[in-house]
Structure 1
């Protein structure tokens, strides 16, 4: 199913031009009372909150571009002074336009969520004598609370303490609010979702299934934000801290992930690749792995344009799929961290691109190509059910996954381990994820023996969860948020840089066992295939194979290592990662002196 009306919806009765997030145009009482007096119009009102997923603030920034750099996804920020490069290099200015649009549209989404929440709470339809009407209104209320919680979660990750606005805009409100403690905000939005989730509908009860917020997603978001609230965070003095009540939030994460497991369990689909291929084919199954995905309409969304397998198109191309690039490369250290029998590796990590002749070829082909620029393999425009046109780029319509059931299982395993150690329940949740990752013939060693080994203690099981989440969610751009809450961001970046240097040294010195060169060709179906993805090979068995430098490409004769190895994570490996960015100028200027960029080394401007 591919819906078009949520992201494209506008509600003329309640949406108005907004000069800034703190002082939106006032709304008439009649408008909101009318809109939320019945289910159909209230649905349109809540739809307005979804519209901000269709803006660049989300579709190319928050969803993927701004979520690097990590140990499994990266981009070079030092090579350019542009807005996105400043963010990748952790040196963004308050004038950064990408930060501007995220701040602005986050607060516009929050504004519209507040309008919906207030309108629904005041509506007689919420507690209508008609059970269907009352249930629908309670569900819409839960949607609004959950969407508001999402945007506050993102604001906190990027800006720390921020203004906490919970009222719909109206004449007489104080529009110039100071920053609120991030822990106060998270505690409140978590409680809002807890209060609302019981009245919500499951995905298989909603008109649009997993293409709209549903009870599964809200339960999962309670767990996710509880782990954010219970995790580590950067303070203005550039130290990492964790609140003394953090175990209470691990308990919430455990309780609500378990609640979903108990009330609406489902088997993980056995075909890992199909989970993402469904998105490329516009298929959105309920009661499956993905709990909620942003429903990009055809002509909207940047999946397959700035993230995914590269497709070289244009007017001279011999295909009609258009052009798509990959902004977030996968480091070889991540590729080689996988067990060679783990089916997730070759789904997540693409060693090929599609050229203008519509042929699959090694990523290192071409004068400007980087042989180790591994792509996110879960999505590509050449997977679309029909070609969108030679000159197309943006707007593939491929949905973006927001939360999967595998995530819920691993959050349950993590929170249970934090509270009680690697119990049989924690092991069981991890087992379900690993069983999907390996052919059954390997379960005795790759699943059972592995879990027995990592369950020796709480720390070893936690480290296993850290690794499992990397392997399970590569390319889905949630790793940054996990490394922040775990407090191991700099550690993982240092490990990545040192790992890449070792791969380069081993390849250059001839001491490694991994592929210095890859031997590749196209099979009888024209598909890219590699002879030696896991091992060093001196020569191919015949001349049908093309030899291309792979790990040798990490070495530089002048600098010793490719410059990106030393510089991509340079500002991430100094012990504490300053992942917080300055409040953009628009927020400072519109606050009438209330907000300022104090702390975090910003100088107070």
Structure 2
């Protein structure tokens, strides 16, 4: 069951927020700050208030998934000029509502984190002689630093240089600030987490386990943001760059992933599917063994997982409601998997549930993220429901930590035995033990001939491991591979279409499907088949459906248009929202990136 499902509601009752701009923040509380942070219970409630910002559209439908396409493994496009299509097509306007809500909510979350940080640092309770009080206050402080770091990470990924506020609202503090260099911001918040993590509590010591920021997550976030800081970024003059000290940050990533792997190692759970099934079934994993280190704890009736991301379920008389999928998985990604890789069938949703709750095969351009589905909700939420499934959203998994370690070690020292061992750990879960010699040992040996080859293997492995979890965009940015990978996906889809039209190639132009015990079975997903073995199978267009008589060059429009603007350098930086510029009284402006 969900241990923390009411935490956001409780926090909202404690600290009320208005819709004012971050540059003119309202008072955060009618309570006296000195009193609030003099005791554990109220300090906990104040810290909980930072989490409420995950329960706004800025995160639950924007930052968590909508704004993280298009990539080589998750994509969508449209001819609409609505907010999300502007972002997907890289044509955002300063009036874009999605950008406005993300900007405002991010700074509200930062404001609330600053309130906690300032309050606890000024509190005598931080150094209490009572070990329990001292431990809890330092844990809350670590949570606030980590959550603040998350929001700044997102701001600089999407907007580049932004105002850097580190103090809570109070008399005499100036909040109308100019832009700060994104690398200065990242360096600062990484150091904050480094300073805080040693005094934080492990997930199995906290009240809410993996539904609460914990030491494991903070260690992982130090590494994730260090790789962001050490990675490439787009400058206002539309060139990609990275700082000369980037190896220092790869060293930090290595050190802190290694620290977590030394102090709190765990076997990767053998059942890859169960990791995500737990979230759809409201099962919170054991924090000692969980692959998920922190997941956003959406209350029942909140959250968009299973509504705009996951297996499509059509509205009908069945009691599970309806949900769709805004980001599709291209066939180039589906067929990049080894056919024996267990992760493929979990990640690539090849079915949807119709109005009668009967599974039907999806079209080739509508493969869904298969890791979550409202069909597993218990109790069923009701026929008229859609949003608000209450399915949690994973923020960081242990396999990510292991692969970050492998990447950092390779960048610093090449494909050492330690780097190879880390890659093997992740691949072992992806294949049955009988296949380990070929798919793990031989595979890793073959990709370890050079630093570049091993890096490319890490790029691939992260795609297969985290497909549908909507982190690929940020990785392609920091690797400076955004244009190369999306254009390769587009060209691969064109190649499939050409082969299907010409009757060449080995993959299926048509697939044969049938329903067995209310489960969709595909007979020939990986190979051509001239004719079905019997009449129980239905032939369905597959790769041949990539062709179109109306699309550009004869292809389906999404193949040529979804990634059309993703050429070097990809303009992933968005314009500052108009409201931010107006309220800054001349300090902020859109000065670069073609805006």
TM-score (norm 1): 0.96
Q: How does 1:250-269 map to 2 (within 5 A)?
A: 250-269=250-269
Q: Secondary structure at the match of 1:528?
A: strand
Q: CA deviation at 1:74?
A: 0.1
Aligned residues: 590
Q: What is residue 304 of structure 1 aligned with on the other side? A: 306
Q: CA deviation at 1:172?
A: 1.8
Give distance in 2, aligned partners of 1:142 and 1:515.
52
Q: What is residue 139 of structure 2 aligned with on the other side? A: 139
Q: What is residue 392 of structure 2 aligned with on the other side? A: 399
Q: CA deviation at 1:11?
A: 5.6
The one of 504, 520, 523 aligned to 1:528: 520
Q: Is the 8 A contact 2:36 2:42 kept in 1?
A: yes
1:553 aligned onto 2:545: yes
Q: Secondary structure at the match of 2:514?
A: strand
Q: Is the 8 A contact 1:555 1:561 kept in 2?
A: yes
Give distance in 1, aligned partners of 2:294 and 2:20.
31
Q: How does 1:47-62 map to 2 (within 5 A)?
A: 47-62=48-63
Q: Is the 8 A contact 2:312 2:323 kept in 1?
A: yes
Q: Secondary structure at the match of 1:10?
A: helix
Q: Secondary structure at the match of 2:320?
A: coil
Q: Is the 8 A contact 1:11 1:45 kept in 2?
A: no
Q: CA deviation at 1:25?
A: 2.3
Q: CA deviation at 1:26?
A: 4.1
1:540 aligned onto 2:532: yes
Give distance in 2, aligned partners of 1:5 and 1:198.
28
Q: What is residue 379 of structure 2 aligned with on the other side? A: 386
Give distance in 2, aligned partners of 1:318 and 1:95.
40
Q: Is the 8 A contact 1:372 1:550 kept in 2?
A: no
1:593 aligned onto 2:586: yes
Q: Is the 8 A contact 1:582 1:597 kept in 2?
A: yes
Give distance in 2, aligned partners of 1:348 and 1:12.
38
Relative to structure 1, the CA distance from residue 267 to residue 505 in structure 2 (aligned partners, 3 Å threshold; closer, same or farther) is same
Q: Is the 8 A contact 1:347 1:378 kept in 2?
A: yes
Q: CA deviation at 1:318?
A: 3.3
Q: Secondary structure at the match of 2:220?
A: helix
The one of 413, 420, 438 aligned to 2:431: 438
Q: What is residue 163 of structure 2 aligned with on the other side? A: 163
Q: Is the 8 A contact 1:308 1:380 kept in 2?
A: yes
Q: How does 1:392-541 map to 2 (within 5 A)?
A: 392-523=385-516, 525-541=517-533
Provide, for residues 78-127 of structure 1, a one-character-per-residue CA deviation record: whole Å limited to 9, x for no partner. x1110000000010000000000000000000000000000000111111
Q: Is the 8 A contact 1:201 1:214 kept in 2?
A: yes
Give distance in 1, aligned partners of 2:248 and 2:329.
35
Q: CA RMSD in A?
A: 1.1
Q: Is the 8 A contact 2:16 2:29 kept in 1?
A: no
Q: Secondary structure at the match of 2:587?
A: coil
Q: Is the 8 A contact 2:28 2:112 kept in 1?
A: no
Q: How does 1:81-96 map to 2 (within 5 A)?
A: 81-96=81-96
Provide, for residues 136-167 of structure 1, a one-character-per-residue CA deviation record: whole Å limited to 9, x for no partner. 00000000000000000000000000000000
Q: CA deviation at 1:14?
A: 4.7
Bigger drift between 549-558 and 295-304 goes to 549-558
Q: Is the 8 A contact 1:413 1:427 kept in 2?
A: yes
Give distance in 2, aligned partners of 1:508 and 1:26.
64
Provide, for residues 237-295 of structure 1, a one-character-per-residue CA deviation record: whole Å limited to 9, x for no partner. 00000000000000000000000000000000000000000000111111210000000
Q: What is residue 355 of structure 1 aligned with on the other side? A: 354
Q: What is residue 192 of structure 1 aligned with on the other side? A: 192
Q: Is the 8 A contact 1:13 1:31 kept in 2?
A: no
Bigger drift between 480-489 and 171-180 goes to 171-180
Q: What is residue 368 of structure 1 aligned with on the other side? A: none
Relative to structure 1, the CA distance from residue 254 to residue 590 in structure 2 (aligned partners, 3 Å threshold; closer, same or farther) is same
Q: What is residue 367 of structure 1 aligned with on the other side? A: none
Q: CA deviation at 1:563?
A: 1.1
Give distance in 2, aligned partners of 1:131 and 1:5.
28
Q: What is residue 65 of structure 2 aligned with on the other side? A: 64
Q: CA deviation at 1:29?
A: 9.8
Q: What is residue 22 of structure 1 aligned with on the other side? A: 23
Q: CA deviation at 1:31?
A: 1.3
Q: Is the 8 A contact 1:409 1:430 kept in 2?
A: yes
Q: CA deviation at 1:7?
A: 2.2
Relative to structure 1, the CA distance from residue 16 to residue 358 in structure 2 (aligned partners, 3 Å threshold; closer, same or farther) is closer
TM-score (norm 2): 0.98
Q: Secondary structure at the match of 1:158?
A: helix
Bigger drift between 559-568 and 304-313 goes to 559-568
Give distance in 1, aligned partners of 2:102 and 2:255.
32
Structure 1 residues not aligned, in runs of 5+: 365-370
Relative to structure 1, the CA distance from residue 311 to residue 492 in structure 2 (aligned partners, 3 Å threshold; closer, same or farther) is same
Q: CA deviation at 1:5?
A: 2.5
Q: Secondary structure at the match of 1:571?
A: coil
Give distance in 1, aligned partners of 2:12 and 2:512.
56
Relative to structure 1, the CA distance from residue 28 to residue 375 in structure 2 (aligned partners, 3 Å threshold; closer, same or farther) is closer
Q: Secondary structure at the match of 1:445?
A: helix
Relative to structure 1, the CA distance from residue 442 to residue 585 in structure 2 (aligned partners, 3 Å threshold; closer, same or farther) is same
Give distance in 1, aligned partners of 2:379 and 2:295.
21
Q: How does 1:579-590 map to 2 (within 5 A)?
A: 579-590=572-583
Q: What is residue 130 of structure 1 aligned with on the other side? A: 130
Q: CA deviation at 1:75?
A: 0.6
Q: Is the 8 A contact 1:14 1:32 kept in 2?
A: no
Provide, for residues 160-199 of structure 1, a one-character-per-residue CA deviation record: whole Å limited to 9, x for no partner. 0000000001122212100000000000000000000000
Q: Is the 8 A contact 2:346 2:370 kept in 1?
A: yes
Q: CA deviation at 1:30?
A: 6.4
Give distance in 1, aligned partners of 2:527 and 2:123.
65
Bigger drift between 477-486 and 525-534 goes to 525-534
Q: CA deviation at 1:27?
A: 5.9
Relative to structure 1, the CA distance from residue 96 to residue 211 in structure 2 (aligned partners, 3 Å threshold; closer, same or farther) is same
Give distance in 1, aligned partners of 2:568 and 2:182.
23
Q: What is residue 281 of structure 1 aligned with on the other side? A: 281
The one of 290, 300, 306 aligned to 2:292: 290
Q: What is residue 562 of structure 2 aligned with on the other side? A: 568
Q: Secondary structure at the match of 1:556?
A: coil
Q: CA deviation at 1:16?
A: 4.2
Q: CA deviation at 1:518?
A: 1.0
Q: What is residue 249 of structure 1 aligned with on the other side? A: 249
Give distance in 1, aligned partners of 2:322 and 2:20.
35
Q: CA deviation at 1:19?
A: 1.6
